[in-house]
Amino acid sequence: MGSPEFAVPCLRALAEHHEVALVVSQPDKPAGRGSQLTAPAVKVAALELKLPVIQPRSAKTGALRDALVQTGAELAVVVAYGKILPRPVLDALPRGCINVHGSLLPKYRGAAPVQWAVIHGEAETGVSIMQLDEGMDTGPVLLERRVAIDPAETAGELLARLAPIGAQALIDAIAAIEAGTVRAIAQDHPHASHAPMLAKTDGLIDFAQPAAAVAARIRGVDPWPGAQAVLRGQIVKLFRAQPAPGTPGVPAASGPPGTVLAIEAGGVHVAAAGGVVVIRELQAAGRKRMTAAQFAAGRGIAVGDVLARPEPA
């Protein structure tokens, strides 16, 4: 059971090492500028693998439970499915449901663990294989893989890097279940943190925040909802940010937050609270994404300009 691209490596690994009796994905949804009905990435991959697919609109009607029972399968695997599964579904198969989650539980339970780990400036994250229960990512952990987060990494890049790691961890966990060697470790619930689904307002950048926090947020909301600021009265998107306190040849953050202090080949240097943020790429409405030097050469930005936080829609 899964929907987005993050789940595809797990599906392919399962198809290679085990018999996959059924794939369950979210219904097709409108996407893109034309709002064309688009299949989830997992459905696309399942059809390529010639696997049967169902797309129930609800997990609570009993139809999903019945479909699982009819497969005769031993175990259900859930990867970013996007629905809370009720107890009848969790108990439909003899070995229940296990989940591939993109954090080191109990940290970052919820829909966007990778994004919030980047936004909060974590140095490390990973993948947890968990036995599902009726809570929100609260079940015991069967296996985990730890991964360092690169200081320049975006949430999208980290998701892409974690996906195959999660697939291999899944195969290892199933092997341990089959061998009877798996150890289920209860989570330390008082130390849990939560990672709710991102909203468009999470991408509105406020340079009055500390430089490290601003840079981390710009990377954490890439690719969605994307980092935005107001420049010369227009929305501009920001990419590839890092804090740069004490950069040689660049003034300290002496201007108001959001003030452009310098423009170099490496990026636009912008004042933030207690430091400087270097933004390497920008994109104006209706234009292509470009390096800071290209953007400045087209007179899109200049020293003394101010990047302000947009007003929520």
Say what the pLDDT of residue 252 is. 53
Cα 228 to the chain's mean position, in Å?
18
Nearest to residue 276, comparing CAs of 299, 294, 303? 303
pLDDT digits (tens, 9 = 90+) for 1-48: 999 999 999 999 999 999 999 999 999 998 877 788 999 999 999 999
What is the reported pLDDT for 34? 78
Question: How far apart, in whole angstroms, are the C-alpha atoms of residue 253 and residue 275?
Answer: 6
**Helices 155-179 and 8-17, interaxial angle, to 10°?**
30
Q: Is the dihedral of CA 156, 281, 124, 122 positive or negative?
A: negative
CA quadruple 220, 224, 225, 231: dihedral sign: positive
**Is residue 65 within 8 Å of 88, Cβ to Cβ?**
yes
**Residues ≥6 apart with Cβ < 8 Å to 181:** none
Instruction: Classify residue 176 by its DSSP letter.
Output: H
- Strand-pair category, 53-54 with 23-24: parallel
pLDDT the model gives residue 253: 54
The predicted pLDDT at position 33 comes to 76
Residue written as token pair 């009905």: 37
Average pLDDT taken over every residue of the chain: 94
Weakest mean pLDDT among 92-106, 197-211, 244-258, 261-275: 244-258
For residue range 127-169, list pLDDT tens digits in order. Answer: 999 999 999 999 999 999 999 999 999 999 999 999 999 999 9
pLDDT digits (tens, 9 = 90+) for 167-194: 999 999 999 999 999 999 999 999 999 9
- Pairs from 60-65 (Cβ < 8 Å, separation ≥ 24): 60/86, 62/88, 64/24, 64/89, 65/89, 65/92
Claim: this prediction has a pTM higher than 0.85: yes
Per-residue pLDDT tens digits for 222-267: 999 999 999 999 999 999 999 986 544 445 556 799 999 999 999 9
**How does residue 104 score in pLDDT terms, banded at 50, 70 and 90?**
very high
pLDDT computed for residue 248 by the predictor = 46
**E strand segments, the chain:** 23-24, 29-31, 36-38, 53-54, 76-78, 97-101, 124-131, 141-148, 227-231, 234-243, 260-264, 267-272, 275-284, 290-291, 307-308
Helices assigned H by DSSP within 72-193: 87-90, 113-119, 155-179
What does the pLDDT read at residue 313? 77
Please give the pLDDT value at position 251: 52
Cα–Cα nearest to 254, from 265, 269, 235, 238: 269
**DSSP-based three-state secondary structure for 215:** helix
Distance between CA atoms of residues 80 and 111, nearest Å: 8
Between these two residues, 69 and 274, which has the higher pLDDT value?
Answer: 69
The domains located in the chain, with CATH, are: 5-191 (3.40.50.170), 200-308 (3.10.25.10)
d(CA 244, CA 195): 27
DSSP 205: -
Given a cut of 90, whether residue 283 has pLDDT beyond it is yes
Checking 250-254 for CB contacts under 8 A at 24+ apart, the result is 250/276, 252/276, 253/211
pLDDT at 97 over 50: yes
